[in-house]
């Protein structure tokens, strides 16, 4: 599901709308589905901890994707995540 993050005072934009999907080996799909609430919590916690400058930076998407990938690997285990694909990264 999409995550909506308020950027707070001092930001050029008011919200970040973020949506991603996880590529996982089919043998781990059921387990990853079960752990989805933990994955969403890790992603939401990270995104909310960022400053507006972090989110609005020119290379923000690359850095955020790398950090989220690492956090999701910590939740799921490295062998269960092939890739994290960003489907939506919209500042408004």
pLDDT per position as a tens digit, 12-47: 889 999 999 999 999 999 999 999 999 999 999 999
Q: Which pairing describes strands 15-23 and 83-91: parallel, antiparallel, or unpaired? A: antiparallel
Residue 10's pLDDT is what? 80
* pTM summary value: 0.90
Q: Which of 22-26, 37-41, 55-59, 78-82 has the lowest mean pLDDT?
A: 55-59
Output the average pLDDT for the chain. Answer: 94
Give which of 1, 10, 7, 2 is closest to 91, Cα–Cα.
7
Please tell me the predicted confidence (pLDDT) of residue 58.
92
């Amino acid at each position: 599901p999409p995550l909506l993050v308020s950027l707070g005072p001092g930001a050029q934009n008011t919200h970040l709308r973020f949506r991603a999907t996880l590529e996982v080996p089919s043998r781990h799909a059921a387990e990853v589905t079960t752990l989805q609430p933990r994955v969403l919590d890790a992603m939401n916690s990270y995104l909310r901890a960022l400053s507006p400058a972090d989110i609005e930076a020119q290379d923000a998407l690359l850095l955020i994707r790398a950090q989220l990938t690492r956090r999701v690997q910590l939740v799921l285990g490295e062998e269960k995540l092939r890739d994290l694909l960003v489907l939506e990264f919209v500042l408004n």
